[in-house]
Amino acid sequence: MSRNPAVGIRDIAEAAGVSISTVSKILNKKTEGVRISDETRQRVIEIAQRLGYQPNPIATALRSNRTGIISAVNLNPGGWFMGRLGVEVQLAAQKRGVELFVSTVNNRAESVEAHLTILQGQLFDGFLLLGDMPSYRDAARKWKNLYKPYVSVAGGAGIQAPMVHTDEACGMKLILDYLIGLGHQKIAFMGSPAWPLVPERFQLFREYLTKRGLCIPDNYVSVVDRFSYQPEKFDALEGLHRAAIQHAKSLLQQANPPTAIFCAADAFALGALKGALQLGLAVPQDVSITSFDGTDGTFACQPELTTLRRPIKKVAAEAIDLLLALIDSPDDLALQKRILVEPELIVRDSCTPI
Amino acid sequence: MSRNPAVGIRDIAEAAGVSISTVSKILNKKTEGVRISDETRQRVIEIAQRLGYQPNPIATALRSNRTGIISAVNLNPGGWFMGRLGVEVQLAAQKRGVELFVSTVNNRAESVEAHLTILQGQLFDGFLLLGDMPSYRDAARKWKNLYKPYVSVAGGAGIQAPMVHTDEACGMKLILDYLIGLGHQKIAFMGSPAWPLVPERFQLFREYLTKRGLCIPDNYVSVVDRFSYQPEKFDALEGLHRAAIQHAKSLLQQANPPTAIFCAADAFALGALKGALQLGLAVPQDVSITSFDGTDGTFACQPELTTLRRPIKKVAAEAIDLLLALIDSPDDLALQKRILVEPELIVRDSCTPI
DNA sequence: GTAACGTGAAAAAACGTTTTCGCAAGAACG
DNA sequence: CGTTCTTGCGAAAACGTTTTTTCACGTTAC
């Protein structure tokens, strides 16, 4: 690794025989109240090119109080959906010519604190908060007073800040209408309260079924404890999967089993599917299964899962647009908005009429 | 969003009745050639606490030429393994008290250029290059002259730079020994040359089988074109999956089909599995399937896949340790090393003796 | 003949730190 | 009583930019 021969603005000024302020103005294409002859302008630009000048971003940031870089904190990077979301917001930012760096918080409060400090600092012009924060109520309160613009993405419906989220109520209606339309009345719910957004989804699930005149007996609600299955032996996701298999089995081995299982996230649905198969049941003939999120796991299984796809690219794009607008005019109250993106029902092979 | 009441070092100095240099030295715990009374020290620290002082990272970086933040560029974030790798390096960095931000490059050369510029800048003290770069030969050459320390992670065996990688030759031996030990002689290869690391794996596969006295007829090599399957309709990963299903079917419908399919990555194995099932074949009774990487998809399917697990956490940890060492002493030639981590054979349910 | 103005650019301040150097005041020493 | 140490700290430069202010030198208007 050689030494950085960093050519600075000063070198250009010297080579061109002008002052550094002149160089700065030319390179920044300043026009207001600035008069520089075309000849000088041309010469400086050419010299900068030839010398391969790259402005020092740190110095630029110090003086102008902005770095042109935004950040995202992924609160729950472990799941399938959230993993992709982190990537998609970056791609969306790149499309708009902005660099975005992602960091993750490993479900530990200290990490959140450390990140708050960094984000409060001058390193980024704004940031995204990706995901749900069930265990970060304290941090969430602090976030209300952050001094940099931020947008909550996929953080649940209750967030009091500029946010972008899936319209999950609409999604719930889509998928339950579909199941009920197929004739299902005995619909079970499967999910873990510790999993992002699952509690909210359970609420929506219950509300909508009640509205349609169906009730959910307690034994149709399967609460998967993500850490219950040999946590010392398996990673969180694998443990969750294996726990879900067990839960699906006991759900289906009851005297009066459900005809359909609504799973609150893909991870549960894949477990439910395997649980049913392991009992010798056929999916969808013996039991229908739906999932929520529609990430890669749902098409890689057999049968492929009917699912509610969250429009992840659209969510990412809306989030970036909103954040960039907020950075431009942080005090515009019209930007304190809540954007809901409609999900899409993907009908595959895991449901059948009854 | 309120105004940032940013309390600076100057405010502390004023409040304590000392100079800013004194405050700086105290807060940075400088001792060499610095003498400050315990009383003053105490007072300044207390005032800094009370005022909630947070140093301005930009100013600090400008003066001291380091930010304390490292970065990682994920060259192929789309796959299952690489997605997780991005997360794991962050967690490893956090464990060491360092902040790491990840950015991704969307298979576009301009993105790589943009990133090089940013990384050359003063924003980060060093960085990780995650993944393989089949189409970035030019960029790779440039990377040899970067002025910041960096480590290539999972970038293939041919990288000429400090690197951490799986010992894939060892892994290939493990998994092929296992298959051969089960009695398999007719082993097919499935993979896509455009997929990270697949070409290298094909090399290793052929070499090792030849060494064991087995040959690979051309019709046992299945080249999956990731973009061949209705790219306008499906995302890359889903298209790849569906293409893999087709390829597995034609592999298995030959006159003299293989008894085992070695898949060069999890994404292919999940497709091969489904292809076999769709033909009405039983796995592993009719055909054995192995995969390489061992990410989440391999346990969520039925039957679960026997796979070679890349020790992702260990790779991440080694990479961070090496990078931090390089940042500390960039010219230490002993750090120009290549670390190979041994993978682990996970025997599940997709292979059977013949 | 001088004030006003227009043009092109340089000088200098500023951003918030870190770091180097220097210096005052008391103590110790001869 | 002068010299030399020590202690404790401050002044100022520096990092590489951006931004504000100033300035020199013509040209035009009155």
Per-residue confidence in pLDDT tens, chain B, 354 aa: 334 467 899 999 999 999 999 999 999 998 888 889 999 999 999 999 999 898 898 999 999 888 888 999 888 887 788 888 998 999 899 888 788 999 887 666 667 767 777 777 778 899 999 988 765 656 666 666 677 889 999 998 888 889 999 999 999 999 999 999 999 999 999 999 888 899 999 999 999 999 999 999 999 999 987 656 666 777 888 899 999 999 999 999 999 999 999 999 999 999 999 999 999 999 999 999 999 999 989 999 999 999 999 999 999 999 999 999 998 888 888 999 999 999 999 999 999 998
CB atoms near residue B40 (< 10 Å)? 15
Q: Which residues of chain A from 141 to 180 reach within 8 Å of chain B, CB to CB?
A: 145-149
SS3 percent helix, strand, coil of chain A, rounded to 5, is 45, 15, 40
Cβ separation of B330 and A1 shorter than 8 Å?
yes
What's the whole-number mean pLDDT along residues A326-344?
91
Name the residue among B61, B146, B271 with its Cβ closest to that of A58: B61
Bases of chain D with protein Cβ within 7 A: 7-12, 14-21
**Residues B278, A4: C-beta atoms closer than 8 Å:** no
**Whether A79 contacts A265, CB under 8 Å:** yes
Residue B315 touches chain A, beta carbons under 8 Å: no
- Rounded distance, CA B293 to CA B299, Å? 12
Task: For the beta carbon of residue A267, count every other beta carbon within 10 angstroms.
Answer: 29
Instruction: Indicate yes or no: CB of B58 within 8 angstroms of CB of A56.
Output: no
Residue with nearest Cα to nucleotide C12 C1': A21
For residues B288 and B276, what is the distance between their CA atoms, to the nearest angstrom? 10
**Tokens of residue A303, six digits:** 């049968």
Q: Is B313 exposed, middle or buried (0-12, 13-18, 19+ CB in 10 A)?
A: middle
**pLDDT over 90 at A143, yes or no:** no
Both structure tokens of B127: 């960085």
Q: How many helices (DSSP H) and strands (DSSP E) are in chain A? A: 12, 12
Question: pLDDT tier at A3 (50, 70, 90 boundaries)?
Answer: very low
Among chain A residues, the shortest Cα distance to B73 is held by: A101
Rounded distance between C-alpha atoms, residue A321 and residue B304, angstroms: 41
Residue A171: the pLDDT is: 97
Whether the CB-CB separation of A241 and A226 falls below 8 Å is answered with no
Strand C bases within 7 angstroms of protein beta carbons: 7-12, 14-20
Q: Is A331 on the interface with B (CB under 8 A)?
A: yes
Segment (H or E) for A276: helix A266-278
**CA dihedral (A123, A124, A128, A130) positive or negative:** negative
Of A125 and A184, the structure prediction assigns the larger pLDDT to A184
Neighbours of B334 (CB within 10 A): 7
pLDDT of residue B183: 97
More confident residue, B55 or A279: A279
Task: Please tell me if residue B56 touches chain A, with a CB cutoff of 8 Å.
Answer: yes
In chain B, which residue's Cα lies nearest the Cα of A85? B83
Q: Which of residues 240-259 of B touch A (CB under 8 A)?
A: 241
Residue A315, sorted as left (phi over 0), alpha (psi -120 to 50) or beta, turns out to be alpha
CA of A321 to C1' of D16 (A): 31
Tell me: pLDDT of A84 over 60: yes
Using a pLDDT cut of 90, give the percent of chain A over it: 63
Position B3 scores a pLDDT of 41
Chain B: residue whose CA lies nearest to A241: B300
| Mean pLDDT along residues A42-68 | 91
Calculate mean pLDDT across residues A305-332.
Answer: 94
pTM, rounded to two decimals? 0.89
CA/C1' separation A22–C2 (Å): 32
- Chosen for mutation from B98, B100, B122, B349 (greatest number of chain A CBs closer than 10 Å) is B122
Helical residues (DSSP H) of chain B, grouped into ranges:
9-16, 20-27, 38-51, 57-64, 80-95, 109-120, 137-143, 168-181, 198-211, 236-252, 266-278, 312-328
Query: Residue B2 has what pLDDT?
Result: 38
Q: What is the mean pLDDT of residues A200-227?
A: 92
In chain B, which residues have their Cβ closer than 8 Å to the Cβ of A71?
A: 101
Option in A57, A59, A104 nearest B90 (CB): A104
* Maximum pairwise Cα distance, chain B: 90
Q: State the Cα–Cα distance between residues B109 and B128, nearest whole angstrom.
A: 18
Residues 81-120 of A with CB under 8 A from B: 83-84, 86-87, 90-91, 94, 99-104, 106, 111, 114-115, 117-118, 120
What is the spatial distance between Cα B171 and Cα A305, in angstroms, rounded to a whole number?
33
Name the residue closest to D18, CA to C1': A63
Assess B78–A contact: CB distance below 8 Å, yes or no. Answer: yes
Determine the pLDDT at residue B201.
96
- Pick from B56, B62, B87: CB nearest A121: B56
Q: What are phi and psi of B261, to 5 degrees?
A: -120, 120
Bridge partner list, B74:
B104, B130
